[in-house]
């Protein structure tokens, strides 16, 4: 408590929405503590500017928390294990939101506050991710000033800008052509022609360079794994967040990792984005090549069922749902022998896993596909007859 006012912890980004939230929450009688959780993709000068903005608006305290390792441990590692992509395409680059909320709530606990606020609107999936995470992690009072504002005005942006201007704070009057969100995982771009299902313009490139800028020489990268987790790059053991940052930078120069995704927003809308994730693409490509080589046929075929369920839970807000933990317990078990090294190569645009090296590869030196085997032709013929018996009988019985 400060001056008898309850403290509200606000997840703060420094943008228009969360700037307005500071004023709105003050009007509701709260003392505001702003929390900015760094999730990669931002220079220190930008981080400093966010702090300055929060204090300028009247926050009594601002803290910055580093979440790069948390995102790697909580999201990138199980994502890699599962090979999960929403609808087979989108690797849930929005998942930093969950860690932002968790770390903000830890700060609530630290200072003894039950009030947590966010700047989500009532239109997208982020509100599900924020709200459900709050409810999954404890007993807190949830505040959403922007969503509340939408109940009283249809011109939310104009209202926010007027409110800030009247309070004496500078407000940018320029509208960015695109909405761009960057973090350790990747970058998403929306707005303008993207929303209209038209071809994205040249200025939508952020990390992934267009073909005209690709280097002439190709690139080869080796990623080392231990029990399914990436631990080295080109033979050098380095922390996970640094691995993904280095992959983002090097492969982005070759245009690797650029996609377009149309998703179903949980509340019923279609959302279309351009997204770029060179590092994630590299990790998933390399991991699958290794896992396909060391795990059994049944393990590998079951992976897709787990991936689809895990992706759905993560995308729709159930990051801290017990069922997700159950799935990850299986995934962790399935990685017991997924250790080795994979070589990736690119000449630009696409990425191939060209070589796999592991002590755990399921190989029989006397049986090589399409070359040699340790069974007889008669055994092969008998196997085919038995495995197809049901289909053969159906053909006979149902023949008209």
- CATH code for the domain in which residue 241 is found: 3.90.1260.10
The stretch 9-21 carries a mean pLDDT of 94
Q: Which distant-in-sequence residues (6+ apart) come within 8 Å of 29 by Cβ?
A: 5, 6
Residue 374 lies in a domain: no
Residue 113 lies in a domain: yes
On the question of pLDDT at 2 being above 60, the answer is no
Residue 45 lies in a domain: yes
C-beta of residue 18 within 8 angstroms of C-beta of residue 11: yes
What is d(CA 174, CA 6) in angstroms, rounded to the nearest whole number? 35
Beta strands in the chain (DSSP E): 7-11, 31-38, 61-66, 115-117, 141-143, 179-182, 187-190, 219-226, 229-233, 236-237, 258-264, 270-276, 340-348, 350-357
pLDDT tens digits for 198-215?
Answer: 999 999 999 999 999 999
- pLDDT given for residue 1 in this prediction: 45
Which of 4-8, 156-160, 318-322, 349-353 shows the lowest per-residue confidence on average (mean pLDDT)? 156-160
159 and 231, same domain (yes or no):
no
Is the four-CA dihedral 129, 85, 305, 289 of positive or negative sign? negative
337 and 287, same domain (yes or no):
yes
281 and 132, same domain (yes or no):
no
- Structural tokens at position 30: 């709260």
Write the burial class of residue 101 (CB in 10 Å: 0-12 exposed, 13-18 middle, 19+ buried): buried
What is d(CA 185, CA 279) in angstroms, rounded to the nearest whole number? 7
On the question of pLDDT at 148 being above 90, the answer is yes
26 and 152, same domain (yes or no):
yes
What is d(CA 126, CA 112) in angstroms, rounded to the nearest whole number? 26
132 and 193, same domain (yes or no):
no
Residue 79 lies in a domain: no
Residue 379 lies in a domain: no
Residue 266 lies in a domain: yes
Alpha helices (H) along 112-238: 126-137, 145-149, 156-166
57 and 150, same domain (yes or no):
yes
187 and 103, same domain (yes or no):
no
What is d(CA 348, CA 318) in angstroms, rounded to the nearest whole number? 36
Which of 271-275, 276-280, 319-323, 364-368 shows the lowest per-residue confidence on average (mean pLDDT)? 364-368
Number of domains the chain is built from = 2
The stretch 159-171 carries a mean pLDDT of 90
pLDDT tens digits for 303-326?
Answer: 999 999 999 999 999 999 999 999
- Structural tokens at position 25: 């929450």
Residue 362 lies in a domain: no
Structural domain containing residue 125: 7-68+92-166
- Neighbour tally for 395: CB within 10 Å: 10
Q: Which distant-in-sequence residues (6+ apart) come within 8 Å of 119 by Cβ?
A: 10, 11, 13, 15, 17, 18, 20, 21, 144, 145, 146
pLDDT tens digits for 176-189?
Answer: 688 888 899 999 99
Domain of 110, CATH number, reads 3.40.50.620
C-beta of residue 329 within 8 angstroms of C-beta of residue 323: no
């Amino acid at each position: 408590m400060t001056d008898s006012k309850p403290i509200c912890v606000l997840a703060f980004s420094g943008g228009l929405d969360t700037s307005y939230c500071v004023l709105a929450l003050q009007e509701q009688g709260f003392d505001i503590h702003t929390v900015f959780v760094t999730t990669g993709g931002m220079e220190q000068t930008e981080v400093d500017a966010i702090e300055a903005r929060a204090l300028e608006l009247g926050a009594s305290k601002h803290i910055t928390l580093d979440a790069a390792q948390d995102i790697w441990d909580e999201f990138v590692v199980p994502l890699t294990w599962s090979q999960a992509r929403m609808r087979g395409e989108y690797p849930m680059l929005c998942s930093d939101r969950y860690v932002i909320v968790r770390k903000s709530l830890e700060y609530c606990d630290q200072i003894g506050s039950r009030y947590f606020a966010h700047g989500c609107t009532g239109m997208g999936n982020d509100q599900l991710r924020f709200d459900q995470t709050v409810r999954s992690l404890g007993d807190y009072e949830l505040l959403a000033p922007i969503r509340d504002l939408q109940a009283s005005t249809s011109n939310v942006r104009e209202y926010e800008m007027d409110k800030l201007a009247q309070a004496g704070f500078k407000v940018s009057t320029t509208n960015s052509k695109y909405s761009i969100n960057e973090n350790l995982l990747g970058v998403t771009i929306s707005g303008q022609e993207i929303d209209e299902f038209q071809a994205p313009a040249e200025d939508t490139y952020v990390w992934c360079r267009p073909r005209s800028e690709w280097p002439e020489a190709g690139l080869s990268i080796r990623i080392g794994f231990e029990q399914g987790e990436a631990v080295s790059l080109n033979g050098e053991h380095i922390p996970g967040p640094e691995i993904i940052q280095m992959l983002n930078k090097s492969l982005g120069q070759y245009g690797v990792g650029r996609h377009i995704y149309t998703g179903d927003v949980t509340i019923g809308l279609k959302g279309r984005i351009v997204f770029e994730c060179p590092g994630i693409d590299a990790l998933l490509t390399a991991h699958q090549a290794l896992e396909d080589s060391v795990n059994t046929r049944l393990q590998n075929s079951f992976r897709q069922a787990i991936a689809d369920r895990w992706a759905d839970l993560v995308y729709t807000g159930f990051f801290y749902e017990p069922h997700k933990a159950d799935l990850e317990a299986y995934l962790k078990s399935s990685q017991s022998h997924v250790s080795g090294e994979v070589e990736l190569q690119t000449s630009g645009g696409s990425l191939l896993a060209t070589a796999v090296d592991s002590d755990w590869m399921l190989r029989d030196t006397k049986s090589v596909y399409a070359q040699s085997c340790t069974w007889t032709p008669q055994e092969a013929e008998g196997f085919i007859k038995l495995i197809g018996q049901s289909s053969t009988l159906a053909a006979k019985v149902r023949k008209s």
